[in-house]
Amino acid sequence: MNNIRISIAALSFLFLSFTAAAQESGETESEDPTVIQSSDLRGWSIGLRGMWLYDLESTLYDGNIAEDPRGLNGDNTSVDFGFEVYVEKQFTPFMGLQGMYRLGGMTGATSTEYYENSFNEFRLGLSLIWSNLDPNHVNSKWNFYNGVGMMFGSFESNRYLVFDDSENGSIDDNYNGFYLSGGVMYELAPSLRVELDLAYNIVRNDGFDGFDYATGWDPYLNVGIGLAYTFGNSEVPAMYAGNYYEAPYYDLARTKARVNELEGRVSNLESTSRRNDDKLNEIKTEAEKRDQELAKADKAMADKIASLEKGPDKSSMAPKAVVFFAFDSDVLTAEAKQILLTNLAGLNEPLVISAYADNVGTEEYNNELKMRRAEAVKQFLIDELKLDPSQLQIVDGSQLELSDQFLARRVEVR
């Protein structure tokens, strides 16, 4: 009885919720009749289903029992029928809650006995419409679903002998169990659908088929067909006919509000992004300025280091020694050698050798002559004064404009 009370309470809750939603919708519409309301009732449905019932052989559950009654087995069984009425609340296009009341009777037989029973049953479970999760299923009138839930009920079962149809026992008891169903529905109209349903039911009472060995459960199968009507505004699709990929399956006002909210968030994100971009540009500009200043400082430092390593510009310094050559000659005279020995002996520093020539002859020849004179001085300093060749640098002396051509035939060492 407790199970039945729970089921009655669940069904009562569904009916009361349905009534409250209807009253609320009616009040809302009466306040402003010019506004078309997308009523919350579009998620509520009521349905009626006729069923064919079949007792399944249950040796799997009954363990060691070799024979178990089953439907359509012998002359004492028949095609069994039942019906059920249900109320459904579809919360989303995918999921809904169903409360059902079922009446039915079944027959089954073994080789020696048969039974007849009648039962009433309350069921509460989830309805899952899988096809509404498929983006390719938008606008289709077909839907595919599964149901899963629990059941509570009471039954009366009578057992008879096949031999003479004499009664061989009866059981009157309560039971509970669970079910798993699957089916297909087709939309006849915006608020009307036809359903074909197949369910596998497990009764947790071994006496459901009149044979109570207290060893297992009794399963039965039902195949049903019925109609369901969904309440609400016909301009708005019923919830079961919606699709998550359909725009939109909920109220347009809510959609617009949600879109406005999302647009506001996007706008805020864009503003934040622009501010961040501006800050990044400022940081980048400052970094570029610092890089330029550092580059200038590095160049100045490198130039200063190069200048220090190069040493002073000896071209502007007075020569340490000056030697003269005969006309068209690159041979050091004895006087020239003596000057080099006297002025440069003992020095250990870089020296610059500048060679000159008079203006007699071609410029090409005079340049060659200057180089020979400079090489002669350099070689003398290496051989006689033992100076390091790496510290001796030869440069081309500029053209001297002197009245005395002899003075132009010279080499200066600085």
> Are 273 and 331 in the same domain?
no
Look at residue 60 in the predicted model and tell me its pLDDT. 65
**Distances in Å between the alpha carbon of 33 and those of 28, 88, 109, 230, 361?**
9, 28, 62, 22, 121
Q: Which two tokens stand for residue 264?
A: 């506001």
Indicate the pLDDT class of residue 243, thresholds 50, 70 and 90: confident
> Are 256 and 330 in the same domain?
no
**Distances in Å between the alpha carbon of 305 and those of 42, 301, 310?**
88, 6, 8
> Are 158 and 48 in the same domain?
yes
> Are 272 and 342 in the same domain?
no
pLDDT at 309 over 90: no
Is the pLDDT higher at 26 or at 335? 335
Nearest to residue 241, comparing CAs of 196, 190, 195? 190
pLDDT at 287 over 70: yes
Look at residue 302 in the predicted model and tell me its pLDDT. 83
Radius of gyration of the chain (CA): 56
> Are 193 and 269 in the same domain?
no
Look at residue 404 in the predicted model and tell me its pLDDT. 63
Tell me if 379 is assigned to some domain: yes
Range of the domain at 378: 315-413
Length of the chain: 414
Arithmetic mean of pLDDT over the chain = 82
> Are 254 and 242 in the same domain?
no
pTM: 0.54
Q: Order the strands of the 321-324 sheet from edge to edge.
A: 321-324, 410-413, 351-355, 392-396
Distance of CA 60 to the CA centre of its chain: 46
Distance of CA 9 to the CA centre of its chain: 44
Mean pLDDT of 68-93: 92
Mean pLDDT of 312-331: 79
Tell me if 327 is assigned to some domain: yes
Look at residue 111 in the predicted model and tell me its pLDDT. 86
Mean pLDDT of 103-123: 94
Look at residue 8 in the predicted model and tell me its pLDDT. 52
Rounded Cα distance between 240 and 262, Å, is 27
> Are 257 and 340 in the same domain?
no
> Are 124 and 199 in the same domain?
yes
Rounded Cα distance between 115 and 219, Å, is 15
> Per-residue pLDDT tens for 30-47?
444 433 344 556 789 999
Q: Is the dihedral of CA 262, 266, 271, 275 positive or negative?
A: positive
Mean pLDDT of 257-280: 85
**Distances in Å between the alpha carbon of 387 and those of 331, 375, 382?**
20, 14, 5
Look at residue 409 in the predicted model and tell me its pLDDT. 85
Indicate the pLDDT class of residue 54, thresholds 50, 70 and 90: very high
> Are 80 and 177 in the same domain?
yes
Tell me if 296 is assigned to some domain: no
Look at residue 185 in the predicted model and tell me its pLDDT. 95
> Per-residue pLDDT tens for 375-414?
999 999 888 888 888 888 888 776 655 556 777 888 898 8
